[in-house]
A and B are shown apart, each in its own frame.
Chain A
């Protein structure tokens, strides 16, 4: 009887530890295992930041536009690869209503980021990010992490890590094709 109890106890403890281990592993920042989190259709959290050129960047003010929110940093080698792609895509799809916002998660100075954006000829809005925005977007564990937001202000997808130019473009097209119904409705309601 005592032996049975011991066995049960050991099994229960083992299960508890397994659950604990599984939770720990879930939080481990490995991109191949990172959940891309199903954000589709969820409203993009609003934020207000100041761009490098001193302008206020407020997401809610961009309703009706397709927004690409790209979290990056100057020390992030894969981010550097996609910057020229984003520059080209902003040029190509800007007239159709695309707004790319680069959120720099650098710990260094604003000047460093400004210098980098100049060197890379960045033609889209860049703002310095903080923990608040990273948290609002579900804790940004690695860079780059990109959110695609439709014209209606709802998220299309969250893409962690570097992906191909084609994948970025496809996501942009999807965001641009998202009708701004909700945005229009809200605008009408506010009138």
Chain B
């Protein structure tokens, strides 16, 4: 009996924790980004995955009106780490109850933003954190909420540069390979 009470309580606790975590004030959340492994001076793609809370939508990166606020990712990188080719998905063309005749370009549910990261040759091996923010403006089917920003980050792990081996003449250096 006691075990049952403890089990039920634990479940309730888990539910509450999940609910609070989900509701942490933002309509958009980002899934933990995996570390991006890169070699110096090589472009490596990365992907950031976002989730929009149920019943909400946000404008796409290219909304159908100049007045609407586009979703935009801004990243500030450590010195000598370059970010390029930021690419947003196309928005869904949806009509809402409040404007059945007007289609809006929006994201809802899950969406991803991709890009490329390239450390310059001068960058030392190690892990670097890229910080940034996703600016978005959310609405539900009846109202819109003020523009908001979601702080984000992901790690870039720069590997050691490949050792440039000088070709040795086997005849002259018969040493065994490392």
A contact set with B: CB distance below 8 Å: 3-4, 6-7, 10-11, 13-14, 17-18, 20-21, 24-25, 27-32, 73-81, 105, 107, 116, 141-145, 160-163
B9 interface contact, C-beta 8 A = yes
Q: Out of B16, B67, B68, B139, which one reaches A20, CB within 8 Å?
A: B16
Q: How far is the CA of A75 from the CA of B69 in the complex (A)?
A: 6
Q: How far is the CA of A25 from the CA of B24 in the complex (A)?
A: 9
Q: Out of B6, B17, B98, B104, which one reaches A10, CB within 8 Å?
A: B6
Chain B residues contacting A142 (CB-CB under 8 Å) are: 140, 143-145
Q: Is the CB of A3 within 8 A of B2?
A: yes
CB-based nearest B residue for A145: B143
Q: Is the CB of A31 within 8 A of B9?
A: no
B contact set with A: CB distance below 8 Å: 2, 5-6, 9-10, 12-13, 16-17, 19-20, 23, 25, 27, 55, 65, 67-69, 96, 98-99, 102, 104, 137, 139-140, 142-147
- Closest Cβ of chain B to A137, distance in Å, is 15
- Closest Cβ of chain A to B163, distance in Å, is 53
- Closest Cβ of chain B to A164, distance in Å, is 10
Q: How far is the CA of A25 from the CA of B140 in the complex (A)?
A: 17
Q: Out of B5, B65, B104, which one reaches A11, CB within 8 Å?
A: B5
* 6 closest residue pairs by CB, A with B: A161-B142, A142-B143, A161-B143, A21-B16, A76-B144, A78-B98
